[in-house]
């Protein structure tokens, strides 16, 4: 795709992983990505802590030396809480611009962005930093309301909005592209997308999607997140945790507890990983009593190892975390506390069978330490796919229709005598 | 539900059926409905021909004598065509108000109402007939864009919008109620619906819906209708008609033909029954040559027996219809041509076993001549349901898991001898 810019999502100091990486790893990852063709870096931090974005944003600027198309996009994660305000989001946008962001993304991973705040935040950013400030709006569809938020964002001056072709859209995915084109028809924002070309893309992915059906969410619309601030996926996670403890009937208590834990932690947006951290602690609180047992991750969140939340964290629970985990509270940038790790990662990678000695392989291992060894070892076999084949889909359809699709051995009793009978398709 | 107003959709002169009824039947139907508790009558005509609404609207006014809560709502069917304009829709609203409509419904059965025309039509009606003109907006969700249309309609002053509780929403259904509540939060239109009560309703219907799964559409979002003006259901209908004729590969030709036939017929909105009439004629045109063979219904449409289309109908095709069916073109109100039929309907009903001699039974037979006889005959057995029972759903789940759920007879060959073996759940 020589004429298409490639874009990636980069979790700031977390890169593609769930932990903070030391600055050298962050820098090398960004430069290598740009060298290999990555153009637009959408950089975010789950807590919107600008200190977790600094290093990555600087590296993206540096990457322009190896790829002139590189674009640094600073990202705001959207959430709803008593401490999150339109003014606050506008302020974050300013911090990102100061950091060298060439555009701003408003990222609404939980589909919480309602039309009015969508309008107000975009307008606020444009008015504070100039109408030419480029803004992308990224909403998921989960709550069934964000298509309207895109409309209001566009009315407020948003420059880019993210959608999916309809055959891959809706539910926890994005809003459908073709519907957005229809939405804007007759307005001053009419798109010039070619509908016939969109239809081709739609039909292509309509054929692909069934092959990945087992990975699909069954959620079509879920507004619970507005009430309980718990996304559907998180809710079902917590339900299985509770059931495993024989406390499946206490989900309502846990849902109420989540709101309390979120407040104690200073109202972090509930996104991976903060959603899991807060949710699991809420389960622990209900099962064992409030903060009797902390998870290591929740202690780290309270002690500043994920960065600063927008709200104040509860000093008493910070004290409990210090005591339970014998770790000090930190208030500076979390990555300041990380020792150099590149040489260790390199050494570890070079011991793995099948590694090709490249910096890319070290980075792959750093990002995915559990998956990389198997990947290196079997790389020579060529690409693998988790998609079902046409033949598998056909077999499933046959099975659903009641046909025997493979050999089945039955034990059949006939006139008092037991036989072993094998049935298979002719 | 003593404190809830009941609302029904009434197809003007068609009542609940597919043909025009003589005025006395229309009148009796409306009065009896009101007497039995119907409050709000949403009256429409597929062609938006006011002459097809007159009798029904007058009867609704008369019905206030038997039920003081009766409300006459005049309805505009929305479509897109070269002859349909915002001004045209505003004019229809005026005709409905002149007819005694106490409120106006804008009915978008095909999900074609885009946000800009939604805004323009509502604003147009309010400006032409006063801001106090009550307007309901009824959109389906099929094209994925009408949630935004509801937002713009509300901004333009719409008083009521129709939604479905989320567990029954989306696809060819309506937009989700809870999402609409979230959509309006923080705006001047914030609702005062109790979210906790909505959740109870949602959970109730989430349990009911699977029992009717076999009747569900699989369409989640379909924007084809904007292009081909063919709703998904109509398209699959036409595909099976073509396949039955061994011409399954000519669907694209037919889709192009639909637009031509629609123009020839004066651009009627494609709703039941006009969608079927136009679609089938398009198939005939492709298979046998343009207008070589007309369906009886298409001839009637061309000859004015369904009323007047907004656009001019093709005089040449009108002539063909006259010749093929030996029927004259009519230009006055179609129901003027219907002889009295009440006494015949009454006599026919009274011959049916199980009829209870009531006017309601005559009306039931008039509306559903194919279904009513069976209903009368088995009425004493009590209500029937097409819902699957919990047991049936469980059996289906078992079957999906591979279990034998009912007796199955296999032919099994064993040691050269053939046996008939019956397997059933223990």
Give me the total of CB pairs closer than 8 Å, taking one residue from chain A and one from chain B.
127
Chain B residues with CB-CB distance to A148 below 8 A: 147-148, 151, 183
Residue B288, pLDDT above cutoff 90: yes
The pairing of strands B417-423 and A160-161 is unpaired
Mean pLDDT of the region A168-195: 94
Q: CA B86, B282, B335: angle at the middle one, nearest 5?
A: 65
Per-residue model confidence as pLDDT tens digits over A258-280: 989 999 999 998 877 788 899 89
Beta carbons of A185 and B227 less than 8 Å apart: no
Sheet holding A103-108, edge to edge: A7-10, A40-43, A71-77, A103-108, A135-139, A160-161
Q: How far is CA A334 from the centre of its chain?
A: 21
Which residues of chain A have a CB within 8 Å of the CB of B185?
114, 116
Q: How far is residue A378's CA from residue A374's CA, in Å, rounded to a whole number?
A: 6
Given this model, what pLDDT does residue A320 score?
97
**E-strand stretches of B71-214:** 71-77, 103-108, 135-139, 160-161
Residue of A219, A223, A425 for testing the chain B interface, max B β-carbons within 10 Å: A223
pLDDT at A43 over 70: yes
Q: Which residues lie below 8 Å from residue B279, measured CB to CB, with a gap of 6+? A: B230, B234, B237, B238, B258, B270
Q: Decide the pairing of beta strands A417-423 and A408-414.
A: antiparallel
How many percent of chain B have pLDDT more than 90?
73
B30-87 confidence digits (pLDDT tens): 999 999 999 999 999 989 999 999 999 999 999 999 999 999 999 999 999 999 999 9
Determine the pLDDT at residue B407: 67
> Mean pLDDT over residues B199-208, rounded?
94
Report pLDDT for A272: 73
Quick count: other Cβ atoms within 10 Å of Cβ B242?
19
pLDDT at A132: 97
Distance CA B143, CA B174 (A): 11
Burial class (CB in 10 A: 0-12, 13-18, 19+), A167: buried
Give the span between the Cα atoms of B137 and A231, in whole angstroms.
31
Out of A166, A195, A399, whose CB is closest to B221? A166
pLDDT above 80 for B270: yes
Q: What is the pLDDT of residue A231?
A: 63
Please state the rounded mean pLDDT for residues B394-421. 70
Instruction: Classify strands A40-43 and B71-77 as parallel, antiparallel or unpaired.
Output: unpaired
Chain A closest-CA separation from residue B404 CA (Å): 9
Q: Do B402 and A399 touch (CB under 8 A)?
A: yes
Q: For A305-317, how does the pLDDT look when each residue is reduced to its tens digit (9 = 90+)?
A: 999 999 999 999 9
Which chain B residue's Cα is nearest to A117? B186
Q: How far is residue B315 CA from its own chain's centroid?
A: 30
Residues of B in contact with A414 (CB under 8 A): 414, 419, 421
Q: Which two tokens stand for residue A382?
A: 């060529």
Closest residue of chain B to A115, computed from CA coordinates: B183
CA distance A326 to A139: 40
For the segment B164-181, the average pLDDT, to the nearest whole number, is 94
| CA-CA-CA-CA dihedral for A257, A260, A262, A267, to nearest 10 | 160
Among chain B residues, the shortest Cα distance to A176 is held by B144
According to the model, what pLDDT value does residue A102 have?
Answer: 98
| C-alpha distance across the termini of chain A, in Å | 47
Nearest Cα to Cα of residue B160 among B191, B198, B200, B205: B191
CB contact under 8 A, A151 and B115: yes
Measured between alpha carbons, how far is A169 from B243 in angstroms, rounded to an integer?
30
C-alpha span between B391 and B411 (Å, rounded): 29
3-state secondary structure B251-270: HHHHHHHHHHHHHHCCCCCC
> What span, in angstroms and rounded, lies between the C-alpha atoms of B201 and B177?
11
SS (H, E, C) chain A: CCCCCCEEEECHHHCCCCCCCCHHHHHHHHHHHHHCCCCEEEECCCCCCHHHCHHHHHHHHHHCCCCCCCEEEEEEECCCCCCCCHHHHHHHHHHHHHCCCCEEEEEECCCCCCHHHHHHHHHHHHHHHCCCCCEEEEECCCCCCHHHHHHHHHHCCCCEECCECHHHCCCCCCCEHHHHHHHHCCCCCCCCCCHHHHHHHHHHHHHHHHHHHHHCCCCCCCCHHHHHCCCHHHHHHHHHHHHHCCCHHHHHHHHHHHHHHHHHCCCCCCCCCHHHHHHHHHHHHHHHCCCCCCCHHHHHHHCCCCCCCCCCCCHHHHHHHHHHHCCCCCCCCHHHHCCCCHHHHHHHHHCCCCCCCCHHHHHHHHHCCCCHHHHHHHHHHCCCCCCCCHHHHHHHHHHHCCCCCCCEEEEEEECCEEEEEEECCC
Optimal mutation site among A146, A147, A188, A217, interface B, most CBs of chain B within 10 A = A147
Sign for the CA dihedral angle at B137, B140, B146, B151 comes to positive
pLDDT value of position B274: 85
| Averaged pLDDT for residues A219-237 | 75
**Residue of chain B with shortest Cα separation from A155:** B152
Residues from B contacting A (CB-CB < 8 Å) are 114-117, 143-145, 147-148, 151-152, 166, 169-170, 175-176, 178-183, 185-187, 195, 199, 220-224, 226-227, 399-400, 402, 410, 412, 414, 419, 421, 423
Q: B342-350 vs B23-35: helix axis angle to the nearest 10?
A: 60
Neighbouring residues of B107: CB distance < 8 A, sequence distance ≥ 6: B42, B44, B75, B76, B77, B78, B138
Cβ atoms of B107 and B138 within 8 Å: the answer is yes
CB-nearest partner of B176 from A221, A400, A410: A221
H/E run at residue B316: helix B315-325
The predicted structure's pLDDT at residue B401: 65
* Close Cβ partners of A403 (under 8 Å, ≥ 6 residues apart): A425
From chain A, the residues in CB contact with B151 under 8 A are 115, 148, 151-152
Q: ω before A25 within 30° of 0 (cis)?
A: no
Average pLDDT over all residues of chain B? 92
Q: Which of B187, B220, B223 sits opposite A182 (nearest CB)?
A: B223
The whole-angstrom distance between A403's CA and the closest CA on chain B is 10
Question: Is residue B402 pLDDT above 70, yes or no?
Answer: no
Distance CA B74, CA B334 (A): 19
- Are the Cβ atoms of B147 and A148 closer than 8 angstroms? yes
- Asked if A145's CB is within 8 angstroms of B147's CB, the reply is yes
Residue ranges of the alpha helices (H) in B156-306?
177-184, 195-208, 224-228, 232-244, 251-264, 274-288, 296-302
Mean pLDDT to the nearest integer, A125-143? 96
Q: Which of A183, A199, A224 sits opposite B115 (nearest CB)?
A: A183
pLDDT at A94 over 60: yes
Distance from CA of B130 to the nearest CA of A (A): 25
DSSP secondary structure code for residue B176 in this structure: B
CA B113 distance to own-chain centroid: 16
Over the stretch B212-260, which tens digit does the pLDDT of each residue have? Answer: 988 887 778 888 888 766 666 677 777 888 888 888 888 888 888 998 9
Of A145, A185, A410, nearest to B183 by CB-CB distance is A145
Secondary structure, 3-state, A265-296: CCCCCCCCCHHHHHHHHHHHHHHHCCCCCCCH
Burial class of residue A408 (count of CB atoms within 10 Å of its CB; 0-12, 13-18, 19+): exposed
Burial (0-12, 13-18, 19+ Cβ within 10 Å), A407: exposed
Q: Which residue has the tokens 């640094």?
A: A72
Residue A237 C-alpha, separation from nearest chain B C-alpha, in angstroms: 19
Chain B positions in Cβ-Cβ contact with residue A143 (cut-off 8 Å): 179, 182
Chain B nearest-CA distance from A279, in A, is 22
Token pair, residue B97, equals: 């108000």
**Residues of B with Cβ-Cβ distance to A402 under 8 angstroms:** 399
Report residue A223's pLDDT band, with 50, 70 and 90 as the boundaries: confident
Nearest to A227 among B183, B195, B227 (CB): B195
User: How distant is the Cα of A299 from the closest Cα of chain B, in angstroms?
Assistant: 33
User: Is A187's CB within 8 Å of B410's CB?
Assistant: no
In 3D space, the residue among B361, B287, B299 whose CA is nearest the CA of residue B329 turns out to be B299
pLDDT of residue A405: 59
| Of A151, A166, A187, Cβ closest to residue B223 | A166
Distance of alpha carbon A320 from alpha carbon A281, whole angstroms: 13
Phi-psi region of A46 (alpha: psi -120 to 50; beta: other; left: phi over 0): alpha
């Amino acid at each position: 795709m020589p004429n298409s810019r490639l874009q990636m999502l980069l979790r700031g100091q977390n890169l593609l992983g769930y932990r903070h990486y030391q600055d050298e790893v962050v820098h090398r990852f960004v430069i290598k990505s740009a060298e290999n063709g990555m153009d637009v870096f959408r950089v975010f931090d789950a807590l919107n802590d600008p200190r977790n974005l600094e290093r990555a944003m600087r590296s993206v600027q540096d990457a322009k030396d190896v790829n002139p198309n590189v674009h640094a996009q600073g990202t705001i994660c959207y959430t709803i809480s008593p401490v999150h305000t339109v003014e606050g989001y506008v302020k974050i946008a300013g911090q990102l611009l100061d950091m060298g962001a060439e555009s701003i993304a408003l990222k609404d991973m939980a589909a919480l962005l309602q039309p009015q705040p969508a309008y107000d935040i975009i307008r606020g950013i444009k008015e504070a930093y100039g109408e030419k400030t480029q803004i992308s709006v990224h909403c998921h569809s989960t709550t069934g309301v964000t298509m309207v938020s895109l409309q209001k964002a566009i009315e407020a001056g948003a420059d880019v909005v993210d959608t999916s072709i309809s055959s891959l859209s809706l539910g926890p995915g994005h809003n459908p592209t073709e519907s957005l084109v229809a939405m804007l028809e007759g307005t001053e924002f009419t798109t010039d997308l070619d509908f016939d070309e969109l239809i081709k893309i739609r039909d292509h992915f309509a054929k692909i999607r069934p092959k990945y059906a087992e990975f699909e969410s069954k959620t079509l619309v879920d507004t619970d997140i507005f009430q309980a601030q718990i996304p559907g996926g998180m809710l079902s996670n917590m339900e299985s945790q509770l059931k495993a403890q024989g406390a499946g009937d206490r989900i309502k208590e846990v849902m109420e507890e989540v709101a309390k834990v979120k407040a104690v932690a200073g109202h972090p947006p509930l996104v991976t990983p903060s959603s899991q951290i807060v949710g699991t602690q809420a389960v622990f609180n209900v099962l064992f009593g409030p903060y009797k047992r902390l998870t290591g991750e929740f202690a780290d969140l309270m002690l500043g190892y994920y960065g600063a939340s927008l709200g104040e964290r509860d000093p008493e629970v910070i004290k409990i975390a210090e005591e339970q985990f014998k770790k000090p509270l930190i208030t500076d940038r979390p990555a300041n506390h990380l020792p150099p790790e590149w040489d260790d990662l390199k050494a570890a990678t070079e011991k793995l069978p099948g590694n090709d000695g490249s910096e890319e392989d070290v980075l792959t291992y750093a990002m995915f330490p559990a998956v990389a060894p198997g990947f290196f070892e079997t790389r020579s076999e060529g690409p693998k796919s988790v998609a079902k084949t046409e033949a598998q889909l056909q077999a499933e359809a046959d099975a659903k229709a009641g046909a025997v699709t493979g050999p089945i051995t039955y034990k059949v009793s006939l006139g008092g005598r037991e036989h072993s009978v094998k049935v298979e398709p002719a």
